[in-house]
Structure 1
Amino acid sequence: MDWERLLSLKRHGDTHKRLRKEQDETRLGFEVDYDRIIFSSAFRSLQDKTQVIPLSKTDFVHTRLTHSLEVSVVGRSLGRIAGKQILKKHPYLAEIHGYHFNDFGAIVAAASLAHDIGNPPFGHSGEQAIGEYFKTGNGKKYRSELSEKEYQDLINFEGNANGFRLLTESREGVDGGLRLSYATLGAFMKYPKESLPKKPSRHIADKKFGFFQSEKHAFVEVAAELGLIPTREGADVSFSRHPLTYLVEAADDICYTIIDFEDGINLGLISEDFALEYLINLVKDRINTKKYNTLRYKEDRLSYLRALAINTLISDAVDLFVANESKILNGTFETSLLDKSKYQAQIRDILAISVGNIYNSREVVDKEIAGYKVIFDILEVLTNALVGKMSGQASKYDGLILKILPEFYTGEETSLYRIVLNACCYVASLSDSSAVHLHSKITGTDFNLS
Structure 2
Amino acid sequence: MNLQPYACDPTQSRGRRFAEPQAPTRTAFQRDRDRIVHSTAFRRLVYKTQVFINHEGDLFRTRLTHSLEVAQLGRSIARTLGLSEDLVETVALAHDLGHTPFGHAGQDALHDCMAPFGGFEHNLQSLRVVDHLEERYPQFDGLNLSFESREGILKHCSRTNAELLEAQEPAFADGAGGVGQRFLNHTQPSLEAQLCNVADEIAYNAHDIDDGVRSGLLTLAQMREVPLFDGYCEAALRQHPSLADLGQARRLLYESIRLMLSDQVYDVMAATQAAIDEHKPQSVQDVRAGRALVGFSPDMRAQSKVLKSFLFRQLYRHPQVVQTMDAAKQVVRELFDAYGQTPAHMQGGAGAHALAAQQAAGDASAFHRTVADYIAGMTDRFALREHERLTGRRLLVE
Q: Normalising by the residue count of structure 1, what TM-score does the alignment of the two structures yield?
A: 0.72
- Which runs of 5 or more residues in structure 1 are unaligned? 84-100, 141-150, 197-208, 387-398
Q: Give the aligned length.
A: 371
Provide the rounded CA distance (Å) in 2 between the counterparts of 1:417 and 1:178.
24
Provide the rounded CA distance (Å) in 2 between the counterparts of 1:282 and 1:261.
15
Change (3 A) 1:15 1:225: farther
Whether the 8 Å CA contact 1:214–1:418 is kept in 2: the answer is: no
Whether the 8 Å CA contact 2:46–2:63 is kept in 1: the answer is: yes
Provide the rounded CA distance (Å) in 2 between the counterparts of 1:75 and 1:380.
40
Change (3 A) 1:289 1:442: closer
Provide the rounded CA distance (Å) in 1 between the counterparts of 2:212 and 2:373.
30
1:108 aligns with 88
1:389 aligns with none
Change (3 A) 1:404 1:68: closer
1:385 to 342, 358, 367: 342
Residue 57 (structure 1) shift: 1.9
2:197 aligns with 249
Whether the 8 Å CA contact 1:167–1:178 is kept in 2: the answer is: yes
* 1:329 has 2:329 as partner: no
- After TM superposition, list the pairs within 5 Å mapping 1:138-217 onto structure 2: 140=116, 151=117, 153-154=118-119, 157-169=120-132, 173-191=138-156, 193-194=157-158, 196=160, 213=164, 216-217=167-168
Residue 248 (structure 1) shift: 0.4
2:352 to 399, 403, 408: 408
Residue 52 (structure 1) shift: 1.0
- Residue aligned with 1:175, SS: coil
1:48 alignment partner AA: Y
* 1:14 has 2:19 as partner: yes
Whether the 8 Å CA contact 1:118–1:161 is kept in 2: the answer is: yes
Change (3 A) 1:30 1:330: closer
Aligned CA-pair RMSD: 3.4
Aligned identity (percent) is 23
Whether the 8 Å CA contact 2:29–2:90 is kept in 1: the answer is: yes
2:376 alignment partner AA: A
- Which runs of 5 or more residues in structure 2 are unaligned? none
Provide the rounded CA distance (Å) in 2 between the counterparts of 1:158 and 1:228.
16
- After TM superposition, list the pairs within 5 Å mapping 1:412-431 onto structure 2: 412-413=359-360, 415-431=363-379
1:323-362 Cα distance to aligned partner (Å, 9 max, x none)? 3344881445369724x54213332332222112210112
Change (3 A) 1:223 1:62: farther
Change (3 A) 1:195 1:426: farther
Whether the 8 Å CA contact 1:374–1:439 is kept in 2: the answer is: yes
Whether the 8 Å CA contact 2:97–2:126 is kept in 1: the answer is: yes
Change (3 A) 1:276 1:106: farther
1:11 alignment partner AA: R
- After TM superposition, list the pairs within 5 Å mapping 1:69-88 onto structure 2: 69-83=68-82
Q: Normalising by the residue count of structure 2, what TM-score does the alignment of the two structures yield?
A: 0.81
1:125 aligns with 105
Whether the 8 Å CA contact 2:63–2:96 is kept in 1: the answer is: yes
Higher mean C-alpha deviation, range 290-299 or range 50-59: 290-299
Provide the rounded CA distance (Å) in 2 between the counterparts of 1:320 and 1:67.
24
1:366 aligns with 323
Residue 176 (structure 1) shift: 4.7
Provide the rounded CA distance (Å) in 2 between the counterparts of 1:174 and 1:212.
26
- Residue aligned with 1:59, SS: coil
Residue 6 (structure 1) shift: 6.7
1:204 aligns with none
